[in-house]
């Protein structure tokens, strides 16, 4: 639940600075660690050399420079966008539904994306071009699922409960279709499960460019509504009495969070726990005000996924663990620990 007070809840500069420093530290370590070890000093100088009007010698070879700019940096930036967006969407869903267990996939977004990707893999052209259509198909499936859940949940008098139940129903329906398609095409199961387990593999900067505009638009919309989420925490009637257009705010936040989630899921596959454990962990440290949670959740989610991806590509090197497996392995026990601490604090 959010704060029941409308007292000013400004985000302290200290917390914002800590969030940015954690993000920079996670990205820097991830850039330096790998099959080809790169010195942190060389990385910093190389990045500065890439700025307009600055010429510096990083000491990195042409091969190391290519690895940094064309392999590691795009992957890290993609991880920052995906992790930040999932955590931000999870926090926003929890705000509008007043449910701390709400996550970015609540309205069937995961099921819709999974079905879209499955159809693209199974029925798409059996060539390298299949990869190019999986992302758009997953994005379209996620949006259709979110739209269907919203339309179904707003029949009659729309409530948070009806929207959640609609999301559950739509997710179950789309999952059943996906299961049927998989059973009819068992030869494609490996590719389907590979996508569903999540991954941050990139082919240069194309994936980053494809989702950046949608992530920026969605994030800005959610950041602008962060204080209204605190008002919604009082209840719909109280928020309406204070002059808040509850239905409009809920719709804008719902659309922005779903659009951003659909965009990142289209390129990363299904990565669980980020949208749940990051907001919960932050609540233990900075409190329950969404004015603070919303901006910090993006920074914390971005750092969390970059670190998770680093573990995924180094724990069993030269093989690689899917990022979804890593977040589930570390996220599930962490989430249980947070629930235990929350229950103890409430008693």
Q: Assess whether pLDDT exceeds 70 at residue 129.
A: no
pLDDT higher than 50, residue 18: yes
Given this model, what pLDDT does residue 115 score? 94
Give mean pLDDT, residues 1-25.
74
Task: Judge whether 120 and 130 are in contact, CB under 8 Å.
Answer: yes
Q: What DSSP string describes 323-335? A: HHHHHHHHHHHHH
Measured CA to CA in angstroms, residue 193 lies from 16, 171, 179, 198 at distances of 37, 17, 12, 9
CA distance 320 to 313: 5
Question: Looking at the predicted structure, is the pLDDT value of residue 61 above 90?
Answer: no
Other Cβ atoms closer than 10 A to 173 = 15
Mean pLDDT, residues 290-314: 94
CA–CA dist 278, 276 (Å, integer): 6
Q: Domains in the chain, start-ordered, CATH in brackets?
A: 13-346 (1.10.3470.10)
| Alpha helix ranges (H) inside the chain | 13-32, 40-49, 62-67, 73-97, 109-123, 129-153, 160-184, 189-196, 206-224, 226-232, 236-241, 246-268, 274-286, 290-314, 323-346
Q: Which residue has the higher pLDDT, 54 or 306?
A: 306
User: What is the pTM (predicted TM-score) of this model?
Assistant: 0.90
Mean pLDDT of 219-237: 92
The tens digit of pLDDT for each residue in 248-271 reads: 999 999 999 999 999 999 899 899
Range among 31-45, 72-86, 155-169, 310-324 rated most confident = 72-86
- 41, exposed or middle or buried, with CB in 10 Å at 0-12, 13-18, 19+? exposed
How many C-alpha atoms does 70 have within 13 Å on its Cβ side? 7
CA proximity to 308, closest of 24, 26, 22: 26
Burial of 274 per CB tally in 10 Å (0-12, 13-18, 19+): buried
pLDDT tier, 193 (very low <50, low <70, confident <90, very high otherwise): confident
Q: How far apart are CA 344 and CA 339, in angstroms?
A: 9
């Amino acid at each position: 639940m959010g704060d029941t007070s409308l007292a000013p809840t400004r985000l302290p500069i200290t917390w914002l600075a800590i969030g940015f420093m954690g993000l920079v530290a996670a990205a820097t370590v991830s850039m330096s660690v790998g099959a080809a070890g790169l010195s942190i000093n060389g990385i910093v100088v190389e990045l500065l050399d890439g700025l307009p009007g600055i010429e510096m010698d990083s000491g990195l070879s042409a091969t190391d420079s290519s690895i940094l700019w064309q392999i590691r940096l795009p992957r890290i930036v993609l991880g920052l966008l995906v992790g930040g967006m999932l955590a931000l969407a999870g926090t926003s869903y929890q705000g509008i539904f007043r449910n701390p267990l709400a996550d970015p996939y609540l309205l069937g977004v995961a099921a819709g994306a999974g079905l879209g990707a499955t159809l693209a893999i199974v029925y798409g052209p059996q060539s390298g071009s299949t990869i190019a259509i999986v992302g758009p198909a997953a994005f379209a499936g996620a949006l259709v699922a979110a739209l269907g859940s919203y339309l179904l949940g707003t029949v009659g008098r729309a409530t948070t409960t009806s929207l959640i139940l609609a999301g559950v129903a739509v997710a179950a329906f789309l999952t059943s279709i996906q299961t049927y398609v998989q059973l009819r095409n068992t030869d494609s199961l490996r590719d389907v499960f590979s996508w569903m387990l999540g991954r941050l593999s990139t082919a240069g900067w194309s994936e980053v460019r494809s989702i950046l505009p949608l992530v920026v638009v969605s994030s800005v919309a959610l950041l602008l509504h962060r204080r209204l989420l605190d008002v919604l925490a009082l209840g719909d009637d109280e928020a309406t009495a204070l002059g808040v257009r509850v239905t409009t705010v809920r719709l804008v936040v719902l659309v922005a969070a779903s659009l951003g989630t659909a965009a990142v899921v289209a390129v990363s596959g299904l990565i669980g726990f980020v949208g749940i454990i990051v907001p919960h962990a932050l609540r233990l440290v900075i409190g329950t005000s969404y004015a603070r949670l919303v901006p910090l959740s993006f920074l914390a989610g971005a750092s969390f996924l970059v670190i998770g991806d680093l573990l995924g590509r180094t724990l069993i090197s030269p093989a690689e663990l899917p990022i979804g497996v890593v977040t589930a392995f570390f996220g599930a026990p962490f989430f249980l620990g947070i629930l235990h601490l929350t229950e103890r604090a409430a008693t």
